[in-house]
Structure 1
């Protein structure tokens, strides 16, 4: 549907970003950016910000995975500047506040009351008619009544001119900023952001006083990756310590830890088959998979040790053939309960994997490593 819309909807000067309204609102509340990736250019000069933002827009469009990029334009606004002549205004007994009050109320309008019509209330606003304030020359001729009763014009005490400026101005960390909105499709955000940063660094030369910041959903992934770099090793260490406390032997604890990659490999292959990218949700799934895999290893080792102990009581000395028979017997005894456990876990997770609806995207990625790991 999005591809078809992109093909049909082509408006010169506009860029398509297809974001559902709820996701748009969540992104805006969480990151301040309405698109998956945003680039913020901050500085002191609006002209420099606008020029750099447009350069980044062109560079971003060339990054693989970027479907559209749009830089806000900081020019195009037209403003009427009223520069008050303090000395002349003082000669007529007017101060800055008096002239500003006339400009804001007589030109902009001022609410003087309220009318009630049934259940509706409407404000009553008073200002000069449009026909005497719709041009710069007529604004200069607006009448002003001084405290001494003199009638002068606005042009007598102020210089009026039209100047260019931004239609809307954003600030970030107390500095004016321009934003570039970047939409991504068919590629993970982290890779796109890495390529975007490299492209901007090599192709866009920043002017003195400008700085660039990247924002969007990938910030959460970066923070989560930094946290997972601590959580995953800590989880494996805790598992190893618990195994040592169970068996009181480092070699048996290491043996069970060595079985974890066999489960993790299955989870990785299943993610690849499903077309899922590594994310926070898949990281949680792999942590859960490591715990279940360690439990499987513990139960298997206990069965093997029990089989060897029973055979040792039967024959006395343990030879290599007897040990092999004992290991084979203990493993076979464990096949049925392991198969039942795997079947129960798969039966519980496959519906989550196939489910749809709110939250299914996250839950399916948590369940996917468990499903692949249980199979292997």
Structure 2
């Protein structure tokens, strides 16, 4: 009941963080079950973003992961930092001293068989109960294998028939072993997960990458991969870097084929910088960061802006002979095309305003797109009715 009055997920997380942060010695994270499943499918671990350190030695991986964790926690906007630790499982390590074993004529395989049968157990027979059958495993009683001393006192038979304690030819010790080993493309890795809040994703990750590159020295054969939403965003932005110029080129060619004039085409395309300014101001007012959704919104905004320009200039081209004075022609075009231009803008603005004002689950994806289009269209309407007529007056020849 205490956590109901929050307008969105981020304010709820902020308030919960303030309450929980006072508890010493507790690591906590904020997530949702479905989001966890999606993030695990993307990054390979349960985390929105992750740095994966690849290498062979688990101890070195753990050490470097801790260094990276300490560094990225100093980056503004990065929260929920945690390491998916792999070492910590208590294990008994038995290492055969091959030189000592060779003196007694004992093979390593003989030692392995003893350990397997005494501690792990060996299948002696099978027990049948009706149609079911079960393996019967025989091994030493717990009292004879529950400590290093007891394991070391196990007797190994030499080829001569003598029996010596296992500790005579092995080193037995407790060591922290691997509780779980993450692998990707046949390589071991350890992951450092984190989230970004209150800052643009790309800027935060790039700053973290720069600090890690300067401060963390990785041994030969070890490397890092920054995955998760950042990796997906970079792939999408690289595609947009190709799609947006290509879209503008195709739009320019279509405008030229429509009006048979590069002058008309350039007048229509000249609206792009102003429309971009409108979209950027919208993101600033709503305190949103540029994202893939916002980039797609700009592409859609270009199309609507060009459509409005075509509506206006098509009237100009069709009625040039009806008005001897260019200014009168421009006034007539602006007044006659006012209604369709405004209606197109209002249709998109009214349709996307709920998405621009939304704060529910999933709004972080649709909101930037809607905000860019709504704010950009406010600029586009004035642009079509004020700026384009002026450009037409200045940059088209008299007839």
User: How far does the alpha carbon of each residue in 1:339-368 deviate from its partner, in whole angstroms, 9 at most, with x for none?
Assistant: 222222223222333456564432333222
Answer yes or no: is 1:334 the counterpart of 2:337.
Answer: yes
Please name the residue that 1:241 is paired with: 253
1:7 maps to what in 2? Answer: 18
Partner Cα separation in structure 2 for residue 109 and residue 290 of structure 1: 72
Q: Does 1:344 align with 2:347?
A: yes
Q: Is the 8 A contact 1:17 1:35 kept in 2?
A: no
Residue 267 of structure 2: aligned partner: 255
Partner of residue 303, structure 1: 315
Alignment-derived partner of residue 166 in structure 2: 155
CA distance in 1, matches of 2:86, 2:60: 10
Offset at residue 158 of structure 1 (A):
5.1
Between the aligned partners of 2:294 and 2:314, the Cα distance in structure 1 is 30
Name the SS of the counterpart of 1:162 in structure 2.
Answer: strand
Compute the displacement of 1:204 (Å): 3.1
Aligned mates of 1:114, 1:354 — CA distance in 2? 68
Alignment match, 2:367: 364
Report the Cα offset of residue 78 of structure 1. Answer: 3.4
Pair 1:81-2:93 in alignment: yes
Shift in Å at residue 83 of structure 1?
Answer: 3.5
Tell me the CA shift for residue 65 of structure 1.
0.9
Compute the TM-score of the two structures, normalised by the length of structure 2. 0.77
Alignment partner for residue 134 of structure 1, among 122, 146, 150?
A: 146
Pairwise CA distance, 1:19: 2.0
In 2, Cα distance between equivalents of 1:264 and 1:7:
38
SS in 2 for 1:161: strand
CA distance in 2, matches of 1:87, 1:48: 29
Distance (whole Å) between structure 1 residues aligned to residue 278 and residue 135 of structure 2: 68
Alpha-carbon distance between aligned partners in 1 of 2:74 and 2:127, rounded to the nearest angstrom: 56
TM-score (normalizing by structure 1): 0.82
Deviations 1:52-95 (A, max 9, x none): 33222222111111224334556544332234577998999986
Q: 1:56–1:90: structure 2 CA closer, same or farther, 3 Å change rule?
A: closer
- Residues of 2 paired with 1:270 and 1:115: CA distance? 75
State the Cα distance separating 1:5 from its structure 2 match: 3.1
For residue 60 of structure 1, what is the aligned residue in structure 2?
72
Q: Match of 1:275, SS?
A: coil
User: Does the Cα contact within 8 Å between 2:155 and 2:166 map onto a contact in 1?
Assistant: no
2:200–2:289 CA contact under 8 A, matched in 1 = yes
Alignment of 1:91-240 (within 5 A): 96-97=108-109, 99-109=111-121, 126-142=138-154, 155=166, 159-168=170-179, 169-171=181-183, 174-240=186-252
Secondary structure (helix, strand or coil) at the match of 1:213 reads: strand
For residues 90 and 125 of structure 1, the distance between their equivalents in structure 2, rounded to whole angstroms, comes to 31
The answer to whether the 8 Å contact 1:40/1:179 transfers is yes
Instruction: Give the corresponding residue for 1:325.
Output: 328
Cα distance between partner residues in 2 of 1:104 and 1:7: 52
TM-superposed CA distance for 1:250, in Å, is 0.6
Shift of 1:151: 9.8
State how far apart, in whole Å, the 2-side matches of 1:233 and 1:330 are.
30
Q: Hey, what's the Cα distance between the residues in 2 that align with 1:260 and 1:78?
A: 63
| d(CA) in 2 for partners of 1:232, 1:141 | 74
- 1:257–1:87: structure 2 CA closer, same or farther, 3 Å change rule? closer
Indicate if the aligned counterparts of 1:136 and 1:161 stay in contact, CA closer than 8 A. Answer: yes
3-state secondary structure, aligned to 2:75: coil
Q: Aligned-pair distance for 1:326?
A: 2.0
Task: Work out the CA distance in 2 between the residues paired with 1:335 and 1:104.
Answer: 87
What residue number does 1:375 align with? 378
